Amino acid sequence: MNFYVRRIPNITPVSAPALASWALRDVVNDTKSRPFCGPTVVASIARQPISVVRNAFRLVRHGKDWVNWARSPAIMGVSIEELEATLRLFGFGGSWKGPCQAQSLAAWLENRKGAERTNPTIVRVTGHAVAIRGWEFCDTISNGLVIDANEAPGRRRVVRDVFVIDRMFAPEMHIPSKGKDR
């Protein structure tokens, strides 16, 4: 896999209190199709429309030449590396953590500490990604709407991985599209 993400030296991260107050937003689906879980959680955290987030995933997955293809490739089944690289394009950095033991989403919500409780996180539950910050919850099952985590569907699913966002910096590059800015 080739990731075309350039590194910017001397990044000055945003302070932790600013990141702790970074709330999830309802997803704006400006496309004609239903988004999958990866683009939905990134759009909720990055506060970008689905079309821009899908183009960022295409840039990470296929490189900058995808705009010359006859059709835009579909974005489904994203890996944890693609999630991390796409968030980096929007100016978010963090690290993946595996849970200490197999536990349900409800148990993880109650037992989390520190940055997992205050900062935006992406939680992978049995092959599905959800965005959580505090007690805010967003995924495709809620149609991209931010809901209370106590009312979230699938709370009995097992948590596989957790990506904790612990820094924000300037976005890294322009994200190409097949639209008018070509």
The pLDDT tens digits of the residues spanning 55-104 come to: 999 999 998 888 888 888 888 889 999 999 999 999 999 999 876 677 89
CA dist 81 and 86 (Å) reads 9
How many domains does the chain contain in total?
1
Summarize pLDDT for 152-180 with one digit per residue, the tens: 888 889 999 899 999 988 887 788 887 65
As a whole number of angstroms, the distance between CA 152 and CA 171 comes to 31
Structure tokens at 116: 């997992």
Q: How far apart are CA 140 and CA 41, in angstroms?
A: 8
Which residue segment(s) compose the domain that 83 sits in?
16-168
Identify whether 5 is part of a domain.
no
Phi, psi (deg, nearest 5) at residue 162: -135, 125
Task: Write out 54-83 in H/E/C secondary structure.
Answer: HHHHHHHHHCHHHHHCCCCCCCCCCCHHHH
- Is the pTM of the predicted complex or chain greater than 0.95? no
Residue 163 in any domain: the answer is: yes
pLDDT of residue 2: 46
173 occurs within a structural domain: no
Residue written as token pair 């699938």 = 154
Residue 177 lies in a domain: no
- At 131, which CATH number? 3.90.70.10
Domain membership of residue 98 (yes or no) is: yes
In a domain, 109, yes or no: yes
pLDDT band at 42 (very low <50, low <70, confident <90, very high): very high
pLDDT, mean of residues 113-134: 91
Residue 112: inside a domain, yes or no? yes
Give the pairing of strands 92-97 and 147-148.
Answer: unpaired
| Domain annotation covers residue 11 | no
